[in-house]
Each structure stands twice: as C-alpha cells, then as structure tokens.
Amino acid sequence: MDLLAALREKFGFSSFQPGQEEVLRRVLGGENTLAILATGAGKSLTYQLPALLLEGTTVVVSPLIALMKDQIDMLGEHGITNVLAFNSTLSEDQEHAAIARLRQGDIKIVYVTPERLEDEWFLATLRTLKVPLFVVDEAHCISQWGHDFRPAYLALGNVVKRLGNPTILALTATATPAVRDDILHQLGIDNVKPIVRGFDRPNLVYEARRGDKTGDKLKLLASLFSGKDALKGTGIVYTATIKNALEVQAFLSAELGVPCEVYHSKLHKHDRTRVHELFMNEEIRAVVATNAFGLGIDKPNIRFVVHYDLPGSIEAYTQEAGRSGRDGLASRCILLYRMSDTRVQNYFLTGKYPDVEEVQRVFGTIEVFGEQSGGVTMVDLRRILQLPLTKLKVILALLKKSGYIETSGKSAYGLTEAVRKNRELVLSLANYDTKKTYDQSKLAMMLQYAETRSCRRRFILNYFGEDFSPLNCGACDNCLKARSQGDALRAAGANEKAALVGDSRPTGPYRIADVVQHAKFGQGTVERAEKDLITVLFPSVGYKTLLASAVSKPTELRSA
C-alpha cells in the first residue's frame, strides 16, 4: 500500500513524522502495537489513517471529552465527517440519533470514554459492527503504575475480547518501562515489543527555581515577566489547585499588567471556551490553569510553560511542559517550587486510594441496595457514602475487576452471581497499598528532579528508560551554568579543571535497565545512574535513590 499517497489524499501532508509510518504498517498488517511517541509527534494520525483505510468502524477510547471534540473538529477540517463521539455531553435524543447512525455501518471512527464501554447495551451495539481496530489513547491510564490511572480503563482487555479481538493500538507519550509492561499485560498482549520514538525534545530549555519562604514564588514569577531574561511569547502557568490559579492570575494581571485568564475544571463551559479561544488567538499572553487545561491544545508556538507548584510525578511534568515548543523552536519549561509543595500532592494521594473499611462500606451498600430494581447508581452511592468521586470510582473498578460486582443498566451496580453464591470471598487491597507507596515515591522523584545539580534532560530521559550520553545538554539551567563556568575557567587557563565541570555521567558499576538486588527491597531495575548514586525502581516500594554499594547483581545473573 502506498501510505504516502494515502497520507496526501486524506490529510494533505507530504511526509510522516518519526515513528508514524512504522506504527501504521504494523497496524495495517494486523499486529497489536504499543507506541510511545513524544508529545506533538502526531499520535492521532497513526489510528486515523488506518481507520479510513480499513473496512469497518474503528473504536477509539479517549479519556477526555475535550480531546474527542478537538479530534473530530480536526477531521472535519479535512472533510472527514463520518465520525462520532459518545460521551456524557449527549442528550438522550442526540444519543439515540448517534446510535442510529452507528448501526447504519458507515461510521469510520467512533470515540468513546472508557466509562461508556461499561454500558452493556452500548457494547452490544458495537458487537453488531465490524471493528477492525481498537485504539486506546492515553494508554498510561490503564496502568495502575501510570501517572493518571483511570479505573474504567481496567475493563478494556475484556472489552477487546467481546468485540472479537480486533487489532489493538495503544498510544501514549509518557510511559516508563514498568508502565509499558503493565499496559501490555492489562490489554492481554504481553508479547508485543513497543515502538518507542524518543522522549528527547532538544528545543526545550529546562529550568527550576526554588523559593524558601511564603511569597517567594510570586517574586520568582515576577522576575520571569520582567528584565532582560523575561519570558517571550504566549504560554501556560500551571498550578496544583484552583485557589493558587486564582491567586496567580490576579497577581499577574493586577501587579504585573500581564494579560492573562484563569482556567480550571469548575469554570462554566462557555467560560472555558472563551479562555481557550483567547489563548489560541493570542489575545492574552498566558493562561493560568490547573491540569484541566492542555490535553488536545493544538497550538505549536507555545513559548513557555511555567509550573508554579510541584507536579505529582515526572510523567505529569513532562506531559504538561511538553505542550510548549511543538514548532521546534526554543521554548522554556520552568519549575517554581517550595519544599512544602509536596503536602498538596500527598493530600491528593490520600483522597485517591481506598482503605479496607471504605471498600467494605461500598460493598455493603451495594449488597443492601443492589437488589432493588435497576441496582444502585453512582449518584446514590455518593449520596449515601459521602466519599470523594475519584476514590469511589477506584473502589468500584476494584470490586468489578475482582468479580464482586457488575453493572446493571447504564450506570447502576449489583452483586455478581458468584458473590451471591459465595459470600466468603475475600478482597485483597495489597496492590492498592503498593500503588500508593509507589506514587509517593514518584513524588519524591519529582522533588529530586527539582533539586538536582546535574543535567535535567538526562534526569528526564533516564526516568523513561533512555540513556543520554552527551556530557552537557546545553539546554537546561544546570548545563548552561556549568558551560559558563567552564568558559570562565578556560579563559583563566585552567583547562584540566574545566573539563570536569558539569561531568555527571554514569561512572559506577551499573547502567540503566540493569537488574539489581537489595537486602530489604528485593529485586529492582536501575532507572538512573550518576557517579556513586543510583535510582532503582522496586515493584514493592517504588523508586529509591541509593548508594551504588547498597545493591548488587542478583546471584543468578552473576553465575550466568
């Protein structure tokens, strides 16, 4: 098949971006595929073009309604209109009309949220269609070790089987080696070798600035919008909370005269649309936002992304920072932080993971009310239990995946037949305790990135399992500082000493991906190696930074 001709005909592009053609050929050849492509590398094209070429309806699982809308709008601009999206914004009449169109069999792409695939009636409709390709976008959401775990994704492996095992394409921009393995396992395609096309974005300049006292970060922010080193162009300022977003937007606008708007999940839809359009049209310099803003933002010339608070993980940071500079021009990614920022992220974690008592309360409530006609709904459960929505979703997904409950109707829950017959079944929460510890270790890695004196680019690439050999990346604050110090030393004639400035390459006995043994934490995989320190990912406790002398090669590997 002449894929380049198809690309020109369908989308008007003259060439593929790195990795796209390899993914396309695998998918069109019927091979299950996991593709890790950098932010801005054109992931959507890798399923849109095959969907148009294959016979039948491609199902695309997408986590956000805004992402669906952006993709459908983009396809419409290319004259491709035989696409649909099923999500919570549809009225009952709109949904019936969309289902009627879907059953006609001429829809090429149908976008769905993972929650919609929990609806037996909707799944039954999909089963009447020929589904050649099943796409999992933002596939890290399926992994309990991913940075944005979404419980409803856990059921996708079973959905694929019920749709007749179509070819699977899983896509993400941020996945460590451990997350890649878990994605493949959850989807039931363990034997697939991922396609990985580098996380390195050479045009991004990484910086971090620390504030120690209350008010320091506002001063640091002010310095970024004034003076000879001021930020240029338009960009995004991310905050961890709505409260901080409102405070920062007011400060930028009132104190510094920076035209900016605020964006968060509690804004009315028309306000979100207004801010989005102002930003895209460059009528404002910045959007101050929570992480609700960004996914699907197709603006190539974002010149800066500033994080006013410490994100919860390296994955979250690189995904958000990576929204800058998609046109390939120099862009700045600046992290402002205080050590106390970790409190906010730890607070988020406590609201996310269930304990045994909470799971028992949810199960008991479904046991009592689930026998009523139609089961017990999510709305009922929230009203009765007063649990945070995210935690409730996690518990329901855990109970469902473990075979304790099942959905009845569109969004109601009841006990499974197996549980009705055997009330002695015991639920294990050990994996969720491990997950919480793991996520806390990822937060510690984020703080380690903020505090590092060595190359930030190497830190990020090592985290994602990539080696980075250059002595000095020349595009992070630490390397730029080391280079200027080296220039000063050379000018003074101290050539030998200058050669050592900024040298933080691995010099110890271990390299990335080496398997090592620790007396307390067991076996793990080396993620970073720098001088006499290594960072190891242990399945039971997450990331630990240790002296290289604290670990050893496992006995079986040494004997081999």
CATH of the domain at 162: 3.40.50.300
In a domain, 115, yes or no: yes
Given a cut of 50, whether residue 558 has pLDDT beyond it is no
Same domain, 329 and 375: no
Residue 273 included in any domain: yes
Asked, for residue 496, whether it belongs to a domain, the answer is no
Q: Which two tokens stand for residue 264?
A: 């968060």
Say what the pTM is. Answer: 0.77
Q: How confident is the model at residue 557 (pLDDT cuts 50, 70, 90)?
A: very low
Number of structural domains the chain divides into: 4
| 14 and 132 together in one domain | yes
What tens digit of pLDDT does each residue of 220-234 get? 999 999 888 899 999
* Residue among 403, 412, 401 nearest 154 (CA): 401
Q: Which long-range contacts (CB under 8 A, 24 or more apart) does 346-350 make?
A: 346/440, 346/443, 348/312, 349/312, 349/436, 349/439, 349/440, 349/443
| Reported confidence tier of residue 490, pLDDT bands at 50, 70, 90 | low
CATH number at residue 412: 1.10.10.10
Task: Please tell me whether residues 286 and 365 are part of one structural domain.
Answer: no
Domain check: are 223 and 328 in the same one?
yes
| Beta carbons of 317 and 443 less than 8 angstroms apart | no
Task: Name the domain boundary from 306, 340, 374.
Answer: 340
pLDDT digits (tens, 9 = 90+) for 320-330: 999 999 888 99
Averaged confidence pLDDT in the chain? 86
pLDDT score at 410: 63
Same structural domain, 91 and 230: no
Please report, for residues 32, 119, 240, the alpha-carbon distance to residue 107 in angstroms, rounded to integers and kept in the order given: 22, 20, 40
Query: Among all chains, which residue has been given the structure tokens 């139609």?
Result: 374
Asked if 78 and 181 sit in the same domain, the reply is yes
Q: 30 and 116, same structural domain?
A: yes
Domain boundary among 369, 395, 428: 428
Same domain, 12 and 144: yes
Its domain, for residue 383, covers 355-428
Last residue of a domain, one of 305, 340, 375: 340
CA atoms within 13 A on the CB side of 114: 23
Statement to judge: residues 18 and 158 lie in one domain: yes
What was the pLDDT predicted at 47?
A: 96
Same domain? For 112 and 131 the reply is: yes
- Kind and range of the H or E run holding 333: strand 331-337
